[in-house]
């Protein structure tokens, strides 16, 4: 199986031994504490689950600036996005101390991890602007990722952590949340050698379904990992519960048996476009996948990124050999009226825009909210019904 990033074996930071976990939880009650923001809590979950292997905890200011500037930590490890514990309450935290990290996403703020504080360093406004400009390719506060990052605080609390639990993800998404190690184990159990990963924060329509099948066939994969984000999204995005149900119905009815693994991971969406695409590749490598589908406007938002910037970064900025996982470069995929099937647009140069069934996300949401049927060429009817039911339930809540 493909090796994890940066090490021969996966080293998740969750404390596995129940006795040790109980002892650390008891100790945490006596420690000074920090209530994390949601972004830092998501980083804890990803560290605990092995997705951020081989990191041992939160990055320092020097690491963050180095990663933002050149996608390497101060020690030289290839990494695309800073992994930080940012807070506005840095004056009360002492370097050299142990602190309990409390979960902001669960009532009562239970302890999610314990951190050994290596340093507490303040970012200047210029350094915050530098990080956002490099990671998000913009400092525009209309960008949801920039807005979130700017709200997290200026103090960088660095140091190794020991993770006690996976926040709300294990309980709320018991059938879907999986660690990187669990995915690796299942890949091994299935006997798969080549595995294509598909990243999604949205429901999957016909084009997504066929893209997974095209990529799998093109690389000779044994199976597909449909890997959905379960954490926080921007306003207007469809929540994980509805996406999960829709994706499971699609796989049940329209994929060959035992050809797809469905899993989810506990992270908040960054909307960082190209940099986030590289992060997606890295933690899919840690999950045991050999390929990642990178399509049009991968991890993008609005008009901040070019349609295929997330593919170009792997050629222009990711050094050769930095990652072992390979990228499947996908074009915009849509149903062709001429050919009566889903195609990649680059493969049908004789087509015009009118030859495709194309619906914007805004139009799809409006149709679903109105209870209208989506074209069968665009969405499987069983999937569309699940989404209509979701929008109907939201309308009833408002009424």
Neighbours of 61 (CB within 10 A): 20
Q: How far apart are CA 375 and CA 396, in angstroms?
A: 25
Q: 1 and 188 in contact (C-beta within 8 Å)?
A: yes
- How many whole angstroms separate alpha carbon 114 and alpha carbon 373? 50
Strands 260-265 and 111-116: unpaired
C-alpha closest to that of 286 among 24, 70, 79: 79
**Collapsed DSSP state (helix, strand, coil) of residue 322:** coil
Alpha helices in the chain (DSSP H): 18-28, 38-48, 61-70, 125-135, 144-150, 169-172, 180-190, 206-219, 240-254, 273-286, 309-316, 361-369, 381-398
Please give the Cα distance from 43 to 85 (Å, whole number).
Answer: 8
Instruction: Look at residues 204, 139, 132, 161 and name the one whose alpha carbon lies nearest to residue 40.
Output: 161
Contact predicate 243/203, CB 8 Å: yes
Q: Which of 202, 296, 329, 365 is catalytic?
A: 202
CA nearest to 307, candidates 296, 323, 321, 322: 296
For tokens 């048996």, what's the residue? 257
Residues 102 and 242: beta-carbon distance below 8 Å? no
Q: Of the residues 162, 201, 206, 275, which is catalytic?
A: 201
Q: Which helix (H) or strand (E) holds 100?
A: strand 98-102
The phi and psi torsions of 233 (rounded to 5 degrees) equal -125, 175
Query: Cα–Cα distance between 234 and 248 in angstroms, integer?
Result: 23
Q: Provide the edge-to-edge strand list for the sheet that holds 326-329.
A: 260-265, 223-229, 195-200, 291-294, 326-329
Place of tokens 């792997």: 314
**Rounded Cα gap, residues 162 and 57, in angstroms:** 8
- Gyration radius (Cα) of the chain, Å: 21
Residues 6+ apart with CB under 8 A from 27: 114
Clarify whether 201 is annotated catalytic. Answer: yes
105 classed as catalytic? no
Tokens of 345: 């647009």
User: Catalytic site residues?
Assistant: 201-202
């Amino acid at each position: 199986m493909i090796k994890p990033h940066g090490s021969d074996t996966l080293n998740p930071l969750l404390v596995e031994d129940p006795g040790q976990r109980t002892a650390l939880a008891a100790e945490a009650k006596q420690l000074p504490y920090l209530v994390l923001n949601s972004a830092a809590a998501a980083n804890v979950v990803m560290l605990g689950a092995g997705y951020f292997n081989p990191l041992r905890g939160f990055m320092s200011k020097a690491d963050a600036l180095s990663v933002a500037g050149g996608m390497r930590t101060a020690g030289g490890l290839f990494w695309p996005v800073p992994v930080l514990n940012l807070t506005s309450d840095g004056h009360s935290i002492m370097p050299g101390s142990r602190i309990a990290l409390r979960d902001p996403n669960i009532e009562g703020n239970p302890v999610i991890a314990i951190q050994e504080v290596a340093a507490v360093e303040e970012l200047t406004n210029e350094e915050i602007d530098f990080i956002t400009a490099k990671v998000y390719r913009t400092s525009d506060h209309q960008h949801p990722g920039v807005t979130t990052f700017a709200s997290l605080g200026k103090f960088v609390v660095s140091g190794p952590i020991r993770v006690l639990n996976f926040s709300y993800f294990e309980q709320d998404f018991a059938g879907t949340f999986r660690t990187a190690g669990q995915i690796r184990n299942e890949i091994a159990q299935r006997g798969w050698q080549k595995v294509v990963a598909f990243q999604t924060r949205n429901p999957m329509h016909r084009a997504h379904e066929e893209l997974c099948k095209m990529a799998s066939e093109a690389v000779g994969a044994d199976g597909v990992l449909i890997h959905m984000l379960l954490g926080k999204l921007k306003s207007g995005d469809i929540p994980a519960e509805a996406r999960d149900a829709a994706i499971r119905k699609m796989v049940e009815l329209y994929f060959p048996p035992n050809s797809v693994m469905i899993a989810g991971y506990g992270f908040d969406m960054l909307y960082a476009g190209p940099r986030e695409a590289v992060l997606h590749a890295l933690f899919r490598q840690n999950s045991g996948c050999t390929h990642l589908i990178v399509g049009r406007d991968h991890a993008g938002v609005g008009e901040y990124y070019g349609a295929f910037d997330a593919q170009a970064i792997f050629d222009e900025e990711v050094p050769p050999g930095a990652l072992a996982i390979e990228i499947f470069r996908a074009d915009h995929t849509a149903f062709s009226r001429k050919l009566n099937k889903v195609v990649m647009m680059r493969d049908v140069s004789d087509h015009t825009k009118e030859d495709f069934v194309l619906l914007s996300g805004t139009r799809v949401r409006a149709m679903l909210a109105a209870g209208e049927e989506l074209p069968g060429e665009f969405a499987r009817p069983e999937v569309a019904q699940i989404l209509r039911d979701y929008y109907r339930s939201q309308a009833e809540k408002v009424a």
